[in-house]
Structure 1
Amino acid sequence: MKPGEVRVAGQVDKPYTVTLADLRALPQTSVSVEFTSAKGPQKHTYKGVLLHEVLKNAQPRFDASKKNGQLRGVAVATGGGDYRAVFAWAEIDPGFAKSQVILAVSEDDVPFEDTSGPRLVAPQDTKGGRYVSELNQLWGGVVDPVVDGGQH
């Protein structure tokens, strides 16, 4: 993978790679956020693409025979330094939640550098721990193998 590329993969039918340029060409969502970080209180406006849309394009494999099978889904974002954050599918699916988790292409109208990639932004969080910088991988899948004892 080249710097700035994000691999969208996992238990999906159509894995693909996306760049900041790709994301800038898609419909944008703007979110104003306030959160606490190691640097203290933060207040920013981010613009980007809904995480749900990016993952939906990879066509996650949810079990349609299960009631609300997508609610067994998770999204894992990996960034620089192997930093990871996990989201339940219901947190990012507008059919279930009002949150607008995005892959941000800019902060306070300053575009991110192409080599650093997008930043995952979780506006509903009061702490910035799930704000993933230098995003390089999104993994979508279901928890069934773990919960049902396939892995420990």
Structure 2
Amino acid sequence: MTATTAPPAVRFHGSVDAPLRLTVAQLRALPAHRAEVSFDCLTDGERRHRFEGPKLWDAVREARPRIDLRGRKQRLRFLLAVTGADGHCAVLSWAEIDPDFGGQRVLLATSADGAALDRAGPQLVVPADRCGGRYIGGVTEVWIGPVAR
């Protein structure tokens, strides 16, 4: 990175009260979790990695989603669309990461196999997935919003 190049950042937007951008360094300030994962890559077969970073849940909460967390059923209408620098996008349901429902430990990894991701940007890590399709590198944005009715 040159002095004029800003570090990669994730933009949290959509149905939120506090849209924001978080760099890998700022994500590191959130509680960190570790995940040792294996998943099937269509081109490379089985992959094994060790990731560390905050839960997506904790990062998303920083943007203050417009979701009434006191109730339960209305939360089930919300989705998260996570996009990487290469345009790859994956969708998660709010219930997957919400501790009252699936409570999955989905991460926005700040390191992979011990290497910092400050230059590449964070990686979406979905430990419960057998397929690596939702492992998005260089995450640039997380959109949060309800399904339109």
Alignment length (residue pairs): 144
Q: Distance in 2 between matches of 1:90 and 1:11?
A: 16
TM-score by length of 1: 0.87
Deviations 1:107-144 (A, max 9, x none): 121212x231100000000000001111000001110x
Q: Distance in 1 between matches of 2:89 and 2:122?
A: 14
Contact 1:74 1:87 in 2 (8 A): yes
1:54 aligns with 2:59: yes
Shift of 1:98: 3.8
Q: Distance in 1 between matches of 2:39 and 2:104?
A: 15
Query: Taking every aligned residue pair, what percent have the same amino acid on both sides?
Result: 39
* Dislocated runs of 4+, deviation >6 Å: none
Match of 1:81 in 2: 86
Deviations 1:13-53 (A, max 9, x none): 11000000001122100011110012110111110000011
1:44 aligns with 2:46: no
Contact 2:28 2:53 in 1 (8 A): yes
| Unaligned residue ranges in structure 1 (runs of 5+) | none
AA partner of residue 50 (structure 1): K
1:7 aligns with 2:11: yes
Match of 2:125 among 116, 121, 125: 121
TM-score by length of 2: 0.89
Contact 2:95 2:103 in 1 (8 A): no
- Summarize the alignment of residues 1-152 of structure 1 with structure 2, pairs less than 5 Å apart: 2-37=6-41, 38-62=43-67, 67-112=72-117, 114-143=118-147, 145=148, 148=149
Q: Distance in 1 between matches of 2:132 and 2:119?
A: 22
Shift in alpha-carbon separation, 1:67–1:97, aligned structure 2, 3 A: closer
